[in-house]
Amino acid sequence: MCVQAPASEYLDPCLWSTRQTMVTLAAGQNLTGQSIQAAGGAFVRVRLQDAQKRLKASLGSGKSAPMLIGIWTPAGIFLPLTMMAEDEDGRNYQVLVPWDSNLRLAVSGGALQLEDEKRVPVPSAGAALEVRRNAQDARQKTLVFHVK
């Protein structure tokens, strides 16, 4: 059984749990007594800094500039980050992940060139970065990429 609690800090066990509860019901059948545990998680946040407005300019010109920003789960499922906000200078994305898990963040600028926060270019084919959200870290750092 899958449980989703949008905008909460509870993980969908169908995406993150290695132990899933399977239930088969006939049409009209009810079931009681089943419990589902949804573990808590932390957000991986990404800021796409676009000070030169290249993302909006390329989209406005009719050219497609698909961005690929997502997390690979241990089961090999790709979860794209959700855009949470857009402002004058860029966009904010996030995805909920388990605490204390080593995960891979995939980033590609599509038709646009990206740089990481140290201004190192992201390869045109994209990059995969190791990310981990530790429960003991009070403040989780936002990863920043710049549209060049």
In angstroms, the CA 125 to CA 81 distance is 18
User: In sequence order, what DSSP letters do the residues of 12-77 get, joined into one string?
Assistant: -HHHH-SS-------TT----S------BEEEEEEEEE-TT-HHHHHHHTT-----EEEEE-TTS-
Model pLDDT for residues 11-25, shown as the tens digit of each residue: 888 888 777 677 788
* DSSP one-letter code for 9: S
Gap between the Cα atoms of 118 and 113, Å rounded: 14
**pLDDT tens track for 79-137:** 999 999 999 999 999 999 999 889 999 999 888 899 999 999 999 889 999 998 888 77
Give the domains, in start order, of the chain with CATH numbers.
Answer: 42-147 (2.60.40)
**0.85 surpassed by pTM:** no
